[in-house]
Amino acid sequence: MMPMLLYWREPAWLWVTLLPLLPTLWMYMRRRSAWARIVDPSLRPWVEAPAQKGRQTLSRVALAVAWLLLCVALAGPRTPRWVPPAVQQDSAVIAVVDLSWSMAARDARPDRRRFAQALLADWTAQMPASLRLGIVVYAGHAHRLLPPTTDQELVRHFVHELDGINLPTLGNALADALRLAGESLAETETRGGRHLLLISDGDLGPDAQHAAETAVRDWLPPARINLQVVGVGGPEAVGVPRSATEPLVIDGERVVSRRDAQWLRLFAGHVDGGYHAAEAIAGQSLVQVLGLRDPRIDPGDNDRVLWDEWFGFPLLAGIVVFLLATRGRQAKSASRAAIVAGLITLLTGGCGREVFVDSPGDQARAALDSGDYERARSLSTGGEGHDARFAEGVACYRLADYPCALQAFAAAAWQAPDDTARGRAAFNLGNTHFRLGDFEEASVLFTEAEALGIPSELTAINREFADSLAATVRRYLADVAETQRRADWRAAAREMPEAMLDRVAEGIRLSDRFGGSPALATLSADELRALVMRGIERDKADPAAARASGRHWVKSSATTTPEGTAGLFNRLLPMEVGILTVPGEPYRIEGSRPW
């Protein structure tokens, strides 16, 4: 969804607001010169009538305001009601979050890691709908948690789970994280810019810093990725905790850490990026931190957007102010009324598009124009030919009697005397199918209407709107069908006849690689049948428990089963780096600084 930005249908009219300045300036200079020739400057205040001068000034200000409002109405202020996905100027950003050991330091409240998580939570709570956001985390290795997505609920969920994620290795693989984020951004299709947001304390060893600088120079400029760095922590060195009560001690020395703001600033400067201290931007939005501009609709796409037109408000206000400014003047009422009528006619000309492409009517046309649709339907029902059926369709559509409109427009299309008339009928027949929820048929009819001569600016937005809703309906029906399929399968499994259980047991086979194993290969058909029955009975008794408990991909030393997304990632990420068990604590990488 697009933000409520103001657009102008005819912005050139805004320059007309300056037009009165020229004659006003000319009259002021002429009047000043005339007074200088007639009256001594010291006597001028005694000659002018202050009260009359005040009334004239107020009247002129009111006329100027009226002129400004009427010019604004001519410019046509509008806001987008619906924007096709292909038109939206979406941007993509990946947040690269440092989860190394040093981020546990408590010089930020409650610590650096959770302070960074709170920053992300605040930013995602007010994230623009057009922004795609993904998450990459790193310590000893880099891991992609979430590819860029506009699903704001999903983004907020992953940010909420960051605190519970335990990475399997220790270190500062910032270079790998930058490459992973750059690859993910390069794969993301976007009409806007690509941005990388690094949140770190900058406490890396010299080797890790050099690798990160090389990576940022090699990966970001070719992909035109903008880098913004947020430094977390304080400038003074503080101890890094190993646990809530135990300090981190390596080689007999207590480990201390501080935010390396100088290196983070130089690091961002390698690609003309920006550096921000976390405490300085705590109240800013993500749009401000990334330096994003408000996404604007390209003028060439205006005809594909569904607009809300607001010209009526400045038009009405301008007329009211104009009438107040001219009150009391010796002008005939008829002249003033003519001026007002002329302004209304000028300003409303073309300031809105009728949904229907009108056809030359018959006796029902006057009733349609006056809004008496019941009378128009009754008049057109008794007529024959294309014009009568078309008028009947318009009346039925306006009365929301869409089945009646469907028949009338279909008959008008068949009885049309030429392609132009047939195109008008097909266009409005498409509108009717759209109202009835038949979006695919509506899209076909809009295409047909354009081929018959209806302007593309009328058909394109309707067709794209219909296609968008049709795709949404297809996705919904697919989800419903999948849910129903699973429900039917579960019901069938619970009511499985005895004979089918034998077939299920007979169908269980081990691959050749395990064929010689005595563990399961020697199970008889009866034993397999009993196992199948036991599984079905367990699912029948408690489906949720059968799915949730007792399923472990790798052996863990944990005494409780991890829950939620963080627990799932804590089991998956070790396998991602080749660790086949869930470690009790992260592994140190040889030759790499662990914090």
53's CB contacts (< 8 A; 6+ apart) are: none
Query: What would the mean pLDDT of 72-90 be, rounded to a whole number?
Result: 78
C-alpha 94/C-alpha 148 separation (Å) is 7
16 C-beta neighbours (distance < 10 Å), count: 15
Q: Is the pLDDT of residue 405 over 80?
A: yes
pLDDT value of residue 356: 42
540 C-beta neighbours (distance < 10 Å), count: 13
pLDDT value of residue 584: 80
261 C-beta neighbours (distance < 10 Å), count: 17
Averaged pLDDT of the chain: 78
Could you give the 3-state DSSP secondary structure of residue 557?
coil
**pTM for this predicted structure:** 0.54
Q: Which has more pLDDT, 373 or 504?
A: 373
558 C-beta neighbours (distance < 10 Å), count: 13
Percent of the chain with pLDDT over 70: 72
The encoded tokens of residue 323 equal 């009438």
Least Cα distance to 68 among 124, 9, 20 occurs for: 20
Q: Distances in Å between the alpha carbon of 287 and those of 123, 296, 459, 589?
A: 9, 14, 35, 37
Q: Is the pLDDT of residue 355 over 60?
A: no
Poorest-confidence range of 257-261, 493-497, 572-576? 493-497
Poorest-confidence range of 481-485, 533-537, 567-571? 533-537
The encoded tokens of residue 538 equal 């367990």
Least Cα distance to 5 among 286, 294, 284 occurs for: 294
205's CB contacts (< 8 A; 6+ apart) are: 172, 592, 593
Q: Is the pLDDT of residue 273 over 50?
A: yes
Q: Is the pLDDT of residue 330 over 70?
A: no
Query: What would the mean pLDDT of 30-50 be, rounded to a whole number?
Result: 66
Q: Distances in Å between the alpha carbon of 224 and those of 196, 217, 221, 272?
A: 11, 11, 5, 11
pLDDT value of residue 494: 52
Residue limits of CATH 1.25.40.10 in the chain: 364-472
pLDDT value of residue 512: 43
pLDDT value of residue 529: 52
Question: What string of DSSP letters covers 268-285?
Answer: HHTTT-EEEEGGGSTTS-
C-alpha 187/C-alpha 326 separation (Å) is 63
Q: Is the pLDDT of residue 30 over 90?
A: no
pLDDT value of residue 550: 39
pLDDT band at 198 (very low <50, low <70, confident <90, very high): very high
Poorest-confidence range of 51-55, 125-129, 216-220, 579-583? 51-55
Report phi then psi at 7, rounded to 5.
-120, 165
pLDDT band at 156 (very low <50, low <70, confident <90, very high): very high
Q: Is the pLDDT of residue 500 over 50?
A: no
pLDDT value of residue 239: 92
pLDDT value of residue 362: 46
pLDDT value of residue 155: 93
Poorest-confidence range of 53-67, 92-106, 496-510? 496-510
Q: Is the pLDDT of residue 229 over 70?
A: yes
pLDDT value of residue 306: 77
Digit-coded pLDDT (tens) for 364-373: 777 787 788 8
- Asked if residues 69 and 316 have their Cβ atoms less than 8 Å apart, the reply is no
Residue limits of CATH 3.40.50.410 in the chain: 91-290
C-alpha 150/C-alpha 252 separation (Å) is 48
Cα angle 137, 139, 144 (rounded to 5 degrees) comes to: 25
Poorest-confidence range of 77-91, 99-113, 511-525? 511-525
Q: Is the pLDDT of residue 332 over 60?
A: no
C-alpha 467/C-alpha 471 separation (Å) is 6
Could you give the 3-state DSSP secondary structure of residue 373?
helix
The CATH homologous superfamily of the domain defined by 364-472: Tetratricopeptide repeat domain (1.25.40.10)
C-alpha 400/C-alpha 85 separation (Å) is 29
pLDDT value of residue 323: 85
C-alpha 55/C-alpha 235 separation (Å) is 65
236 C-beta neighbours (distance < 10 Å), count: 9
The encoded tokens of residue 537 equal 């009975």
The encoded tokens of residue 233 equal 């922590």
C-alpha 113/C-alpha 165 separation (Å) is 11
Could you give the 3-state DSSP secondary structure of residue 221?
helix
Q: Is the pLDDT of residue 270 over 60?
A: yes
C-alpha 582/C-alpha 566 separation (Å) is 13
552's CB contacts (< 8 A; 6+ apart) are: 561, 571
- Asked if residues 35 and 53 have their Cβ atoms less than 8 Å apart, the reply is no
The encoded tokens of residue 399 equal 């009365």
Cα angle 551, 557, 563 (rounded to 5 degrees) comes to: 50
Q: Is the pLDDT of residue 3 over 50?
A: no
Least Cα distance to 177 among 111, 124, 123, 227 occurs for: 227
Query: What would the mean pLDDT of 308-325 be, rounded to a whole number?
Result: 87
**Token pair 């949720």: residue:** 544
Least Cα distance to 311 among 507, 135, 76 occurs for: 76
Q: Which long-range contacts (CB under 8 A, 24 or more apart) does 550-559 make?
A: 554/580, 554/581, 554/582, 555/581, 555/582, 556/581, 556/582, 557/581, 557/582, 557/584, 558/582
Q: Which has more pLDDT, 87 or 530?
A: 87
pLDDT value of residue 137: 97
Percent of the chain with pLDDT over 90: 26
How many helices (H) and strands (E) the chain has is answered by 22, 13
List the beta bridge partners of residue 254: 249
pLDDT value of residue 507: 41
115 C-beta neighbours (distance < 10 Å), count: 20
Q: Is the pLDDT of residue 166 over 80?
A: yes
Tell me the CATH architecture of domain 91-290: 3-Layer(aba) Sandwich (3.40)
pLDDT value of residue 47: 60
**Token pair 């990966």: residue:** 219
- Asked if residues 326 and 84 have their Cβ atoms less than 8 Å apart, the reply is no
Query: What would the mean pLDDT of 545-570 be, rounded to a whole number?
Result: 53
pLDDT band at 459 (very low <50, low <70, confident <90, very high): confident
